[in-house]
């Protein structure tokens, strides 16, 4: 039972620690949603923009895309996104870029 008491105390401490955390920068999860909803329609095989996945670029290349390139082939594509939206999409693409850590599963 000592083990359970110890785990309970640690659980409370853990939850308390969570509350003091604050997210900074882009939200990868929101970025994924935005990317699928707004980018994918043009960026699948056979569509206007051609197939595009996060694995197409490195992390630095994705950062440069959002700071320098800004979708210069079709700048108006980014007009409907807020700055936070773009930060979220950038974060998602950065987190899943070709040089990011990947799940080590088969298939």
Partner 1 sequence: MQKFFSLILALLFLAPATLLAQTPTVDDLQQQLNDLTDRLERAERHVATDRITWYGDLRGKVDSLHYQDLTWNPGINADFTDFFMKVGSGELGALNVFDGSGNFNPGLSQGSALDTMFVNLANNDPAQFQGLMQAMGAMQQNGTMPGIGAFRLATAPKSSDLDNDILYTTRLRLGMKAKVADKINFSGRLSMYKNWGDSTGVKVFDSWNAFTMDGSNGGATSGDWLRVERAYFDWKDMGGSKFYLSIGRRPSTYGSPSNYRENELRGGTPSGAMMHFAFDGITVGYKLGEVTGIEGQVVRFCYGQGFESQWGNGEMFNDAGTANLEDTHVGGFNIDLYNDGYSLVQLTAFRAMDVNDGFKGTFAFPTQYGALFAPTLYRDMQKFPNFNFVTRYTPSTVIGDINLAGVNFERVEENGFTWFGAVGMTQLESNGKAGMFGGMGNDAVYQATLTSDASEVYMTPVKAMDDQTNEGYGVYVGIQTPAPMGKLGLEYNFGSKYWTPFTQGQDDAIGSKLATRGHVGEAYYIVEFNKNTFLKVGGLYYDYQYTGSGSPVGAPLKVEDVKDGKAFSLMPVVDTAWDAYASLTVKF
Q: Which is nearer to partner 1, 45 or 80 (CB)?
A: 45
Which residue from 26, 27, 89, 97 is in contact with partner 1, where contact means CB under 8 A?
27
Residue linked to tokens 């980014």: 78
Size of the site for partner 1 (CB under 8 A): 23
48 or 102: CB nearest partner 1: 102
Do the beta carbons of residue 98 and residue 57 sit within 8 Å?
yes
Q: Whole-angstrom Cα distance, residue 71 to residue 28? A: 19
Q: Kindly tell me which of 1 and 79 has the beta carbon lying closer to partner 1.
A: 1
């Amino acid at each position: 039972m000592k083990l359970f008491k110890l785990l309970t105390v640690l659980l409370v401490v853990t939850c308390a620690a969570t509350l003091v955390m604050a997210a900074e920068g882009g939200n990868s999860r929101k970025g994924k949603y935005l990317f699928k909803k707004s980018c994918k329609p043009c960026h699948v095989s056979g569509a206007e923009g051609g197939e595009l996945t996060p694995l197409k670029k490195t992390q630095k290349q994705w950062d440069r895309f959002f700071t320098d390139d800004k979708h210069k082939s079709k700048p108006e594509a980014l007009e409907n996104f807020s700055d936070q939206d773009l930060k979220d999409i950038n974060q998602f693409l950065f987190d899943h870029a070709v040089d990011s850590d990947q799940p080590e599963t088969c298939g």
